[in-house]
């Protein structure tokens, strides 16, 4: 297996949405499957709602942590404008899983950039496979907005080269010490994500 057979996942969103946690869980799962894993992340004012991205690459042998533009198989986007911004990193026909709950980053609120009028409409015009769901409101309805990352991981669980059960197990292990209630909530969020994206 060469570097061309590596699975490339770009995780993108806004600080506080759980982007880096989701990337960590993906990397941990791939390691548990015996794969070589490389991960890199960029956080721009992450604690203040800035843009956050993480590249996760895994396979038999991974040569570099960075995904070249046009090489990602999957874009896991926690925010619609960030999905549009990073869509050029996807291969033609690549898969974009998008949370439609909009959250403007500080660069928009302070007037440096304009938020796109219709990011989902613009995504629909690209040669990509786009699935979407309002994971933000769903997480709030489940009782904790931090559940968004479990919903998003569930969204891509059936599109990975290993079992969704392995990904779920790695996710739930992170919450074992915090009690059964939180484990059950994250399981519910994950399973919701598996079935909710259209």
Q: pTM (2 decimals)? A: 0.92
The pLDDT assigned to 49 comes to 62
Q: Considering its fold, how many domains does the chain have in total?
A: 1
User: Mean of the per-residue pLDDT values for the chain?
Assistant: 92
User: Helix 164-173 crosses helix 180-196 at what angle (to 10 degrees)?
Assistant: 150
CATH code (residue 63): 3.40.920.10
Full DSSP string of 60-76:
S----SSPPTT-EEEEE
pLDDT tens digits for 92-108? 999 999 999 998 877 77
Q: What is the residue range of 178's domain?
A: 3-196
pLDDT tens digits for 28-79? 999 999 999 999 987 665 455 678 999 999 999 999 999 999 999 999 999 9
Q: Where does residue 94 rank: exposed (0-12), middle (13-18), buried (19+ CB within 10 A)?
A: buried
3-class SS at 174?
coil
The pLDDT assigned to 21 comes to 94
Contact partners, residue 68, CB within 8 Å, separation at least 6:
none
Band (pLDDT 50/70/90 cuts) for residue 2 is very low
């Amino acid at each position: 297996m060469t570097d061309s057979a590596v699975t490339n996942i770009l995780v993108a969103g806004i600080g506080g949405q759980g982007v880096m946690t989701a990337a960590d869980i993906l990397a941990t799962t791939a390691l548990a499957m015996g794969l070589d894993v490389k991960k890199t992340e960029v956080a721009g004012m992450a604690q203040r709602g800035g843009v956050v991205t993480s590249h996760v690459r895994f396979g038999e042998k991974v040569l570099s942590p960075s995904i070249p533009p046009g090489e990602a198989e999957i874009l896991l986007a926690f925010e619609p404008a960030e999905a549009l911004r990073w869509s050029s990193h996807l291969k033609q026909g690549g898969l974009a899983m998008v949370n439609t709950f909009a959250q403007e980053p500080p660069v928009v609120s302070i007037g440096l950039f304009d938020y796109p009028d219709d990011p989902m409409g613009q995504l629909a015009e690209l040669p990509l496979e786009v699935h979407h769901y309002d994971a933000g409101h769903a997480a709030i309805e489940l009782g904790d907005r931090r559940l968004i990352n479990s919903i998003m991981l569930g969204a891509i669980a059936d599109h990975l080269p290993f079992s969704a059960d392995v990904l779920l197990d790695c996710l739930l292990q992170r919450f074992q010490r915090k009690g059964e209630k939180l484990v059950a909530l994250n399981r519910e969020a994950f399973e919701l994500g598996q079935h909710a994206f259209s």
